[in-house]
Each structure stands twice: as C-alpha cells, then as structure tokens.
Amino acid sequence: MAGLIPLMLASGNRASVVTQSQPPSRRQSTTTTSPTRTEAPRLKLPKRMSLPAAAAAPTPAPAPAPGPTPAPLTILPYTRAEWKKAISEVKRQYFSKRYRACSARCLEILDAVRDTSHADPVYLIYLNFYAATSMEICARPLPSTAALRTSLLQQARTHFDRAASLISAAEDSVIRRFRPYSATSSRGSSCHSPSGSISSRAWTPDTRVSSPTDSVCSFEDLSSNCQSPAKRVKKVSFSLPKEETFQIQEPIIRPDSPTLGFDDVYFQAGVMRQDLPDLPVAPKFHEIEFPLPTIPEAETDSALPPPPEEDSEHSFLVARSVDRCCEHLSGLRAQLKRHSQSLEGLLAISASAQQQQQQQQQKQQKTKPATSTKASNAETFRALDRQARIERLRKCGWQRKRFDSSRYEELCETVMAELNGA
C-alpha cells in the first residue's frame, strides 16, 4: 500500500510485538521447550488505589483591612552609656545640619523622660540647648510674618529658659554636695594634727581651770599656744660666814713666782662654807587630766577619717572637679545668654512685621467697602442712563435694525471667485 509509511521499531519493541502476535498455544510451547530460558518470578504488585476526588481548594481568607500603623517605640536612655550615646546621636544630627531631626529627637526624649532625678542635669541641659538652637535655625529662613516662625522662636525661648534654670539647679546641687565634703575632710585632717593628743589636758595658770572644748583645735587654743610664757629668772641667795668665825689667811707669795707657793688652806675655805638652804618653788601651773569619753567601736570605725595624705589628695581632686564643673556651667550660661539675646531680637522683628501686616489688612478692610459701593453706584447709573436713552429713541420712532447677512454672503462669494480664478 502506497499510503503507508514504514516505521522503524527497536528490537525490544519488535520482539514484544511478535510475541503478542503469536497464538497462545505456540507461546506456551516455546516457553516450555527452551531449556535455557527460565521463567522469572512475577512480582505481584498491589492494585492501584483509586485516588480520592480532589478536594476543593480552600478559598483564602480575606486580608484584614490595613489599620493605622503603630507609632514606633521611643528608646529612652537610662544608663550612663545610653545617655552618652543619645547625646552623641543628637550632636551628630546637629553638626550634619539635620536640624529638624535633631530637634525632634530632643523633644522626644524630653517629653518621654518623666522622672528627671535619675538623669544627670548636664544631659537635660544639652538636650534643651540643642532643641532650642535647632528650632532657631529652622525659623531663620522663614518670612518674618509667618506664624510658624513665631511659634518656633517661642518654643526655642522656652527651651533656653529651661536650660538656664537647670544650670542654676546644677550649680547649687554641685556646691551643696561637694563643698561640705571638702570642709569635713579638712576638719577630719586636723584631727591628726599634733594638737590632738590621746589624753586631753587643760593647762591653767595658778588656780584657774579651763573646761574642755568640743573642737580639737580652735582659734583661742592657737592664740594661747602661740603666746610663749615669760622666762623665769633664777635667783640665788647665799650668806657669808661672819669674820669672827672665818678668817682667811693671806697666802705666802714666793719671790720667784707669784703664782706658786699658795697654801691649801686658801682652797679649803670653800669647803668650810655653810650649805645653802633649798628655797621652796611656788607652783605656778597645775596639771589637771580629764577622762576621755568612751566611744563605741562601731562609731570609732565609721568616724575614722582616711589618712591625711590620701584625704588631702582626694579633696584636691574633688575641688578641682567642682571648679571645672562650675566653670563649664558658667560658660554654658554665657552662651545661653547670647542665644537668648539674639532670639529676643528675632522675636521683636517678627512681632513688628506681624503688627505692620495687621495694620495693612485693617486699612484694606476699611477701604474695600468704599470702593465696592462706588463701583456698584456707577454700574447702576449707567444702566439707568441706557434705559432712558432707549425710551427716548422709541418715542421718536426709532427701530433697532436687525442683523443683515446678505452683505457678508456677497463678500464671501467675491473672495471665493478670486481664489478660484487665481
């Protein structure tokens, strides 16, 4: 048959086709007679389970309506490191000229911080200062009559005032916290001076006795100690024996040497003198000892001040830190004063500009009704005049000519003829 196209089949496929075309009896004989082929065991496969009908796909739940996005949580500084990080972030925004972001961050922290006792006043001073300065810079390019400019300047003035009050409070707290400590440290160091001894003794001239004072070394004690006592002049009295009982023999002077030949009797004359009586010394000063008060051990341990060297060094460091802090705060106050003065100038300019604008608006409002009444009166007069002329012409027999389009049609035909002829 010419219409058939021969197909090339693989050997395996061809054999399967041939075996399927043979009758079943022949297939059985071939399988039994061939000694070499062995029938492979057939694996019984389980019947294919009918798959359940595809369940209907679940319809997706409708998406919830987009509600208002929640406001971002405000990260508040609490520890010293977090405060330093927040201040550095504010400074970075300020020096990168992102004044709106800087003022917004400062206001966010200041509004969220309710308990200012845990925060250092210096951090709050810096936040108020940067917020006010950023608002002032944002308000400068605005026109003088803008209400936003006035609002920003007033907010900046409020923050400057808060910073000034915080500076005063910080100075008072620093002085109150550290000045008494330096005084007590100096008082404690005086306890180790030589004037404070273990046994408190009061020396009284003659019969007067001074009571012990609470202070270890007072100005009266210093003045009394500085006065040196008058020097005692020792007086010696003696009496010579009478001439009857004691006669000094004149020495024998040798002709060859005037210094030789003295008798021993001359030198023994002093031994023969009478012993001088001891004069009783009148006691001028009396020494009285007062018992020390007993101090409990706990109070003794707590009242013991540090060694003089360490205490003096520590008090010196504290005094230097206090002076530096006060100097820094005074510099901030001077800077705030300059900013406040410039801010007051800007507010005065804005107030004067707004006042001038209000005056101009009031003048315009006063002149506007007059001009409107004049215009309305002129229009009314023109309309009346026109109506009067029409009435007068009608009485004279005047009729208004209607529109005549014939002349325009003639003109159009003439123009078209000229165009066609050209």
Give the global pTM: 0.43
Cα–Cα dist 336/130, whole Å: 11
Cα–Cα dist 260/253, whole Å: 7
User: Is the pLDDT score of 391 beyond 70?
Assistant: yes
Q: What mean pLDDT value characterizes the chain?
A: 68
Report the chain's terminal Cα–Cα distance, integer Å.
Answer: 83
* In the chain, where the domains are located: 73-186+322-360
CB-CB contact of 304 with 128 (8 Å):
no
pLDDT digits (tens, 9 = 90+) for 99-156: 999 999 999 988 888 777 777 888 888 899 999 999 999 988 888 888 888 889 889 9
The predicted structure's pLDDT at residue 377: 81
89: DSSP letter: H
User: Is the pLDDT score of 415 beyond 90?
Assistant: yes
User: Is the pLDDT score of 173 beyond 70?
Assistant: yes
The predicted structure's pLDDT at residue 288: 57
| R_g of the chain, CA atoms, integer Å | 63
The predicted structure's pLDDT at residue 18: 44
Retrieve residue 172's tokens.
């008072």
Could you give the 3-state DSSP secondary structure of residue 414? helix
pLDDT digits (tens, 9 = 90+) for 17-40: 444 444 444 444 444 444 445 455
Cα–Cα dist 49/26, whole Å: 35
User: Is the pLDDT score of 94 beyond 70?
Assistant: yes
